[in-house]
Amino acid sequence: MNSATNSGRALPRTGRALPRAGRALPWALVTPALGWTLLFFVLPFVAMGFSSLTAHDGSGFTLANYSQFFTNPAYWQAMVNSLQVTAIVTVISVLLAYPFAWILAEQVPERWQRLALMLAVLPFWTSYVVRSYSWLLVLAQNGVINRALTGSGLFSEPLQLANTRLATVIGFVHFFVMLLTLTIFANLKQLSPSYRKAAADLGAGPVRTFLHVVLPLTLPGIMVGAFLTFVLCIGDYITPQILGGNNELLMPQLVMMQIGRRGDFPLASALSIILMAVVTIAYLASARWLKIERA
Amino acid sequence: MRALVRIVSWFYAVAIYGFIFLPVVVLVLFSLQATSFPIPPFTGPSLRWYNAVLADTRLTSALINSLLVAALSSAAAVTLGFLSAWGFARFALPGSALLRGLITLPLTVSYLIIGMGLLVLFNWAGIPKSLLAAGIGHVVINLPLCFAIIYSQMGDHQINIERAARDLGAPEWKVLLLITVPVMAPAIFAGFFLSMTFSWDEFVISFLLTRFDTTLPVEIWNLLRSGLNPKTNAVGSLVFAVSIVLVVFFELMLLRRKPT
């Protein structure tokens, strides 16, 4: 929030800063956190890796859980669905959020901006489960939208909106428009006004200034936001389960199904690891666009 | 041209605000429904469903569980995060960058996978499902966050104050408690507050790691099985109200700190 970011990190002062402290103190400070991470994050991951290589009936090691994913079209389809939904959600959310963030940053008077932004992300603070349920209320067979459509005589029959991919996408977009508005707004505000002045001095109109100066300078921030959207979206279980239903499964639903209905931990572990591998590949592929800098 | 941009901007902003608020308005409105279905036409206002929520001991005990898990796991996360941030910011440790990377690593993994891993581990170790297990998971997701926030706020000028205290003869624990903690209070508070909100709202880890005693999001999930129900609207609206109060409180705290 303030001072610490503008100077470099004040690091090695060991000997001089701490004349009386031995080497034990620093380790005593960092060991609890490291231990916690090793014990409850790294070790579970190793356990999951092991589990994914065992057979469900406990008969030794096998690669069957992984090969199932590639041979069973239903599993494969879940990954395809996940990637499609995530891609659609990411693109729509960025396209909706960018102009909105721009309006908040450029058109709303300075003194109202904080309030406008707070309002724009207020529903963020409803519980995640409740937020998806609220969309179910809106999209249900006899919900608000269908009542409005049939009531106004536009449609005679209610539309099937809930339990579709469309519902999942709407639920996700709602969440990520708020998230991306926050990040893009912060990006736009960080832009020094002198860039815009310089562009104006050199004779560029508002449109050209935006296209050639503002947009390229905010692009790295957009990429970071888009990546965040990708990661959070592809790993989410709640929204597709509540809004999409079971007509079409996404990866997290498939994973949960293995645990819930069948108690098949090895297969669930293998599917989780595959899902994580896809996220890692996406990260590596986009790493050069994601130069996350400390300002 | 300018005027046109303004008008289009207005329409666009109103449309997006409408989209953002539509589900929340529907949620709160039909929580006041007098009849048994939260669908149009509106028959309220009535507080019938709020009474039903408060009379439901499963929901009220889940609410208390949620608050307990959130408070305790956030306290643990912020303590571990603060101590390690202090250690890494003040001392040159071998492999520091790597170890810091390890602490922040859980931020890059989805909750589902963290919960799955813990489920498999606890299952093997014979640790039963419980609120404690869920709390452990919440520390895993919030520790990196607390660490990152506090570590990024440890700058030069705090080091100098600490050094002054040491020069004046303060032992290390006194420096920590009387100097570092008060100076870092805003970052510690921010870490704790964020952890609270994440833990309060966390679903998948609690869903996987608890059984009978559970947290509010999981209990709300169980309510969803009964389909659309104004009771779910009421409990959802209550959760929303609690969050809003917290956010406004946090915002006011920040605003008050600003001038200094």
CATH number, position A180: 1.10.3720.10
The residues near A193 (Cβ < 8 Å, ≥ 6 apart) are none
| Residue of B120, B204, B246 lying closest to A48 (CB–CB) | B120
| Residue of B20, B109, B155 lying closest to A123 (CB–CB) | B20
Q: Which of residues 5-44 of A touch B (CB under 8 A)?
A: 5, 7, 9-14, 17-21, 25-30, 32-34, 36-38, 40-44
pLDDT of residue A9: 43
Q: B64-227 architecture in CATH? A: Orthogonal Bundle (1.10)
- A233 within some domain: yes
Amino acid at residue number B122: F
Angle between helices A265-286 and A215-234 (to 10 degrees): 170
- A21 within some domain: no
C-alpha B25/C-alpha A64 separation (Å) is 49
pLDDT per residue as tens, chain B (260 positions) = 778 888 988 899 999 999 999 999 988 888 887 777 777 777 778 787 888 888 888 888 999 999 999 999 999 999 999 999 988 888 888 888 899 989 988 888 889 999 999 999 998 898 889 999 999 999 999 999 999 988 888 877 777 888 888 888 888 888 888 888 888 888 898 889 889 888 988 999 999 999 889 999 999 998 888 778 888 888 989 888 888 887 788 777 766 655 44
pLDDT of residue A171: 94
C-alpha A277/C-alpha A238 separation (Å) is 21
Q: CB of B201 within 8 A of CB of A128?
A: yes
Which residue ranges make up each domain of chain B?
Answer: 64-227
Smallest CA-to-CA distance from B193 within B99, B81, B105 is with B81
Weakly modelled stretches of chain A, pLDDT under 70? 1-22, 288-295
Q: Which residues of A97-111 are buried (b: 16+ CB within 10 A; e: fewer)?
A: bbbbbbbbbbbbeee
- Region class of B227: left (phi > 0), else alpha (psi between -120 and 50), else beta: left
Amino acid at residue number A178: M
Q: What φ, ψ does residue A61 adopt, rounded to 5°?
A: -85, 150
Nearest chain A alpha carbon to B38? A137
pLDDT of residue B91: 82
Distances (CA, A) of B145 to B94, B112, B141: 23, 17, 7
Distances (CA, A) of A24 to A29, A37, B87: 9, 20, 11
Q: What is the 3-state secondary structure (H, E, C) of A28-92?
A: HHHHHHHHHHHHHHHHHHHHHHHHHCECCCCCCECCHHHHHHHHCHHHHHHHHHHHHHHHHHHHH
Q: If you ran DSSP here, which 8-state letter would residue A242 be given?
A: I
pLDDT of residue B19: 94
pLDDT of residue A197: 81
- A216 within some domain: yes
- A28 within some domain: no
- Is the ipTM higher than 0.90? The answer is no
pLDDT of residue A145: 84
Closest chain A C-alpha to B146 CA, distance in angstroms: 11
Both tokens of residue A40?
């409850």
Q: Into how many domains does chain A fold?
A: 1
**Contact residues on chain B for A237, CB-CB shorter than 8 A:** 112, 204
Tell me how crowded residue B249 is: count the other CB atoms within 10 A of its CB.
Answer: 11
Is the previous residue joined to B40 through a cis bond, with omega within 30 degrees of 0?
no
- A124 within some domain: yes
- A25 within some domain: no
Subunit contact B84:A127, Cβ cutoff 8 A: no
Q: Domain range spanning residue A140? A: 37-289
